[in-house]
């Protein structure tokens, strides 16, 4: 979709392009922002009530097999906050130097600043094969728990962030636990 926005506003500066992207993305009620050549996969995801997001790269890849309703809220809130910041820069500070400075210095909100509470779960086993199986089992059950947590009104949003590289120490197979 970013490519489509760029083609629609080819003469726009960086800030205006990002603003147009936010406006287009938040105001259009598109289920899928690109055309899918083979929609068979789409029907499977719609039956499971999952949000479908495809990459416009080749081959088209389903990026969001694990996105939940609360993740959708996170994405929408982040887009609206970003749009609000762009309005602030673009309309209240017309100075070109300020806009260029903002473009160079703008850094997104750190992931850890978005949440007040974190839960860290480490899956550790003696063998890599069993560790991957165990982690997959835990992950699938966590998604079920998150779906249940979404039913509570007091929970704003929650989701799972997976980290599979540099995952802490590995046990020596000779050591018994």
Same domain as 49, residue 9: yes
What average pLDDT does range 138-159 have in this prediction? Answer: 72
Residue 177 forms part of a structural domain: no
Question: Distance between CA 19 and CA 14 in Å, rounded?
Answer: 9
What average pLDDT does range 151-165 have in this prediction? Answer: 65
Would you say 79 and 25 are in contact if contact means Cβ atoms under 8 Å apart? yes
The confidence score (pLDDT) of residue 177 equals 34
pLDDT in tens, 65-91: 556 677 677 777 777 887 777 777 667
Q: Which one has a higher pLDDT value, 128 or 60?
A: 128
Residue 123 forms part of a structural domain: yes
Three-class DSSP category at 25 = helix
pLDDT class of 17 with cuts at 50, 70, 90: confident
Question: Distance between CA 148 and CA 69 in Å, rounded?
Answer: 11
Three-class DSSP category at 69 = helix
Q: Among residues 142, 175, 173, 176, which one has the least CA distance to residue 160? A: 142
Same domain as 99, residue 127: no
**Residue 46 pLDDT greater than 60, yes or no:** no
The tokens for 108 are: 């997104």
The confidence score (pLDDT) of residue 26 equals 65
Same domain as 160, residue 101: no
Mean pLDDT taken over the chain: 64
Same domain as 15, residue 38: yes
**Residue 144 pLDDT greater than 70, yes or no:** yes
Same domain as 121, residue 77: no
pLDDT class of 58 with cuts at 50, 70, 90: very low
Which residues face 62 on adjacent strands?
54
What average pLDDT does range 93-97 have in this prediction? Answer: 60
Question: Distance between CA 31 and CA 54 in Å, rounded?
Answer: 10
pLDDT class of 174 with cuts at 50, 70, 90: very low
Please identify which residue in the block is written with the tokens 């097999």: 65
**Residue 7 pLDDT greater than 70, yes or no:** no
**Residue 1 pLDDT greater than 50, yes or no:** yes
Question: Distance between CA 83 and CA 135 in Å, rounded?
Answer: 37
pLDDT class of 137 with cuts at 50, 70, 90: confident
Q: How many domains does the chain have?
A: 2
Domain limits at 19?
Answer: 2-108
Would you say 45 and 67 are in contact if contact means Cβ atoms under 8 Å apart? no
């Amino acid at each position: 979709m970013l490519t489509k926005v760029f083609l629609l506003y080819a003469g726009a500066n960086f800030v205006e392009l990002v603003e147009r992207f936010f406006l287009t993305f938040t105001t259009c009620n598109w289920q899928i922002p690109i055309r899918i050549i083979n929609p068979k996969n789409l029907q499977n995801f719609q039956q499971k009530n999952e949000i479908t997001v495809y990459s416009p790269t080749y081959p088209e890849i389903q990026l969001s097999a694990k996105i939940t309703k609360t993740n959708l809220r996170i994405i929408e809130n982040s887009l609206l906050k970003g749009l609000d910041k762009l309005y602030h820069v673009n309309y209240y500070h017309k100075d070109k130097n300020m806009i260029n400075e903002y473009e160079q210095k703008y850094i997104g909100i750190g992931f850890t600043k978005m949440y007040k509470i974190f839960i860290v779960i480490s899956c550790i086993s003696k063998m890599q094969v069993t560790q991957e199986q165990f982690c997959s089992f835990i992950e699938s059950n966590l998604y079920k728990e998150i779906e249940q947590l979404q039913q509570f009104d007091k929970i704003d949003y929650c989701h799972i962030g997976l980290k599979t590289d540099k995952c802490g120490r590995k046990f020596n197979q000779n050591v018994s636990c």
